[in-house]
Amino acid sequence: MESKDGMSAADILHVRAGQNYLVEDFTRMERLRSDPVVLESLSRVAQEIGFDRVRPYVVENGSYKAMPDMPFTQWENPYFTVDPPKQGDTFTIYQLKDGPETRNYRYEAYESLQEAGLAVDRQNYDLVYTAPLDGKTTLEDIYRTFNIDRPADFTGHSLSVSDVVVLNRSGKDEAHYCDSFGFTPVPEFFLQREKQLTPRELLTGESIQTPRGSFLVTDMSREQLEAAGYGFHHQSEDGKYLIMGNGTDAFAIPAQQESPIKAAEMTTEQNYNMIDGVLNNAPTMSELEAKAKAGEQISLFDVAEAAKAEAQKPKQPQRPAQKQKKPSIRAQLKAAKEEQQKKPPQREKAQELEV
């Protein structure tokens, strides 16, 4: 920094061993450490470039003594303020995790996922890249960059179908699914998956005894237990109960369901609190959209099931347009005659008088 008259100058920043050092000389100059222009410049450098370390001075016996270097963040700074840098807009790229559990999602169009009853779930993705976002950059610009001119620090694969790009503008996140054509908004990307109930959470309070031990009875069906990783272990001696285990835990279920409707509900209803004697009373896609607009939390499982149900609905056949019957020739002649009778008679042309 140079004075206006050009007669003096003061350093502000030195780079030593790859680190930014605040030049501490200004602290020993009364004119500099009280000059608002100098202090404002120091504040801007600290915010825009940053200081890593500083060597402070202390006064001993009327003279300045240099102290050991210390991190800038630990230095007691009575001279100028350092505001934290403002957080700007960003974009973030998410790509599916490797493994068999994401095989059915990989490179699939969004419509195909909906038809299969699958949802775009944040838990299936890894964050692979994030960077600042300016006001001019579009999703198509991001797609082009990460296919043609990928940054050196980007370690993911080229941006492809099934990837998700999250735009953060003014603190608000928007998720977009890289689709077969363009991008599709996926607000469900931020939803938390509803916790799945376990057999222990649906205990009936009963227990049964078999030669292999005592087992608690759960209200889950065999199909639900098998989906949760439980397999058939053995059957009670009276044949009334099946023992289902997963290697570390085991539960008993009735060998035959008490109610056919209840058995059907346990395999079709999305939530166990819907076991009420009415089949398939899960929320529809329109109901879920209304809840989301109202700010209510909805389940990803419900979204996937509703999308699957929508896709499985039979389409209403369109009735062919009835072909208008052409009138017969006799009817056409009759209609023409009636039309002719409706017309007023033509006026006769007046004859010219002879003189």
Strand order through the sheet with 183-185: 125-132, 90-96, 164-169, 172-178, 183-185
Residues of the chain predicted below pLDDT 70: 1-10, 24-34, 77-87, 192-196, 257-282, 313-330, 333, 340-355
Long-range Cβ pairs for the range 43-51 (8 Å, 24+): 43/80, 43/81, 43/82, 43/83, 45/12, 45/13, 46/22, 46/72, 46/80, 46/82, 47/82, 47/83, 47/84, 47/85, 48/85, 49/13, 49/20, 50/20, 51/13, 51/20, 51/21, 51/22
| Residue 12: DSSP 8-state | -
Q: What is the pLDDT of residue 351?
A: 45
Nearest to 283 by CA among 164, 175, 194: 194
**What is the domain partition of the chain in residue ranges?**
13-74, 90-190, 199-274
- From residue 22, give the alpha-carbon distance in Å to each of 65, 78, 290, 303: 17, 14, 57, 56
- From residue 189, give the alpha-carbon distance in Å to each of 90, 110, 141, 181, 337: 17, 12, 22, 19, 72
Q: What is the pLDDT of residue 354?
A: 44
Q: How many Cβ atoms are within 10 Å of 187's Cβ, its own excluded?
A: 13
Q: What is the pLDDT of residue 177?
A: 97
Give the CA-trace dihedral at 94, 95, 98, 102, to 10 degrees.
Answer: 100
Q: What single-letter amino acid sits at 221?
A: S
Q: What is the pLDDT of residue 146?
A: 95
Query: What DSSP letter does each residue of 190-250 carry, written as one string?
Result: GPPPPPPP-GGGGEEEEEEEETTEEEEEES--HHHHHHTT-EEEEE-TTSSEEEEE-SS-E
Q: What is the pLDDT of residue 145?
A: 93
Query: For residue range 81-129, what is the model confidence (pLDDT) as tens digits?
Result: 666 555 688 999 999 999 888 888 999 999 999 888 888 989 899 999 9
Q: What is the pLDDT of residue 345?
A: 52
